[in-house]
Amino acid sequence: MTGIPVQMDHAQLDNGAEPLAPEVPKRRKGSPKKQKLLFLRNGKSFTGLAILGFFAILAVIGPWIAPYDPSAMSSDILQPPSGAHWLGTTHVGQDVFSQILVGTRGVMIVGFIAGIGATLLSILVGVSAGFLGGVSDELLSSLSNIFLVIPALPLIIIVAGQLPDAGGLTVALILAATSWAWGARILRAQTLSLRRRDFVEAARANGESTWRIVWFETLPNLTAIMASSFVGTVTFAILMQTTLAFIGVTSISDWNWGTILFWAEQQQALSRGAWWWFVPAGLCIAMLGMALTLINFGIDEFVNPRLRSTGASPRALRKRRISPRIGFTAVVREGAPASSGGSATTTSRPDGATRPGASPASTGATSSGTGTSATTTGGPGTPRPGTSHDDRDNDGTTTRKESVR
């Protein structure tokens, strides 16, 4: 995923290893609080967090506020949405709205347990592979590569299908055990590049213990990568879990959104035209998935100023006299006065100009920005310093996406 090289930029900027871009010193001055606000001020991450928070609250209070027992049958069979049943009823008169409310908890818990488990595993494997080097590195990275290559969905289905009554926790553990490899690979690559940086060398020269270097020098610099791989895994786990429930390989008595869809498909909700049975559950999954994706976009843009200008609306950009076309990357520096359009911070150019070659200032900003990214992201296939060739970061999306279908 292209989000990954992006985060490399961040680490590099933060450490000031290559103070190429003029904005680096200024950004580092920003207090942590301001940076946090910056993350929230981003429309994408704010929307994502708001939706996620909404579902988190539902997960906690859902079973209490549910108007009916989700499994209780009644005589209202296959009723469309009404005042009594907000989202209609199923073939045996169960209330769909209550099923969704109760099911939220299962979905969230499994998603987060799987995400936490997979992230911990990937930190353990990735960071130790990066730090230990040598034979252990070879072994650990082959292990994660093997896990990357073995197709996850068929394996998970086979395993889950054989376990009698695979409940929520089992599913979460299976998902964690099969989805850590991608994060481990990215973390290893980044750890490799971090451990050669000056500040780590300095810490080593100071006689700091390896543990201290790992915990206090390295891990904080991996936060963005860990966060984005955590969010990615949670998304993946939620999709997988509902898919498994829909296929019917996991326990069909636990309520989650996938179970609702399982029953809807089993009982021919489609041909009976009972859209209220399966549309809301699917929309919930989609909303949650989108919220997490938006948060990940927010993280990307937060750590990489080069992507940030794309987050602004075209009108806002035009207002600031930025025309985002080829040849340069408009770096919108948050915190700077909006009128500073002409200064070196926001490289602007006369409207409508499609040819580059504006002011020398803008050209300078361009090439320095490019330099930073070229050394770290390395473009496709460029061997990154300290990384072996098999650590390309462009096939993750496909691997993950395809396997969910």
Partner 1 sequence: MKYFLRRIVFYVITAWAAITINFFIPRMMDGDPVSSFINKNQGRISSEARESLYVLFGLDSGASLWEQYVDYWKMLFSGDLGLSIMLFPSTVSEVIAQALPWTIGLVGIATVISFLLGSFLGVVIGWRRGSWADGLLPITTFFSSVPYFWLGLVAIMLFSVTWSIFPSSGAYQPGLVPGWSWEFIGSVIQHGTLPAITIVLSSVAGWILGMRNMTVTVTSEDYVTVAQAKGLSERRVMFGYAARNAILPQVSGFALSLGFIVSGTLVMEKVFSYQGVGFTLLQAIGAHDYPLMQGIFLMITLSVLVANILADLAYVVLDPRTRQEG
Instruction: Tell me, residue by residue from 210 to 249, as one string, x for binding to partner 1 by CB under 8 A and - for no binding.
Output: -------------------------x---x--xx--xx-x
The nearer residue to partner 1, 74 or 323, going by C-beta atoms, is 323
Q: Which of residues 283-342 bind partner 1 (CB under 8 A)?
A: 285-287, 289-290, 293-294, 306-307, 309-310, 312, 314, 317, 322-329
How many residues bind partner 1, per CB under 8 A?
Answer: 88
The nearer residue to partner 1, 10 or 306, going by C-beta atoms, is 306
Min CB(304)–partner 1 separation in Å? 11
Q: Which of residues 23-82 bind partner 1 (CB under 8 A)?
A: none
Instruction: Tell me, residue by residue from 252 to 281, as one string, x for binding to partner 1 by CB under 8 A and - for no binding.
Output: ---------x--xx----xx-x-x--xx-x
173 binds partner 1 (CB under 8 A): no
The nearer residue to partner 1, 65 or 150, going by C-beta atoms, is 150
Q: Spell out the SS3 assignment of 213-280.
A: HHHHHHHHHHHHHHHHHHHHHHHHHHHHHHHHHHHCCCCCCCCCHHHHHHHHHHCCCCCCCCHHHHHH
Instruction: Tell me, residue by residue from 354 to 393, as one string, x for binding to partner 1 by CB under 8 A and - for no binding.
Output: xxxx--------xx-xx--xx--x-xxxxx-----xx-x-
Interface region with partner 1, contact rule CB under 8 A, candidates 104-112, 123-131, 154-162, 183-191:
154-162
Distance CA 170, CA 114 (A): 10
Q: Which of residues 75-134 bind partner 1 (CB under 8 A)?
A: none
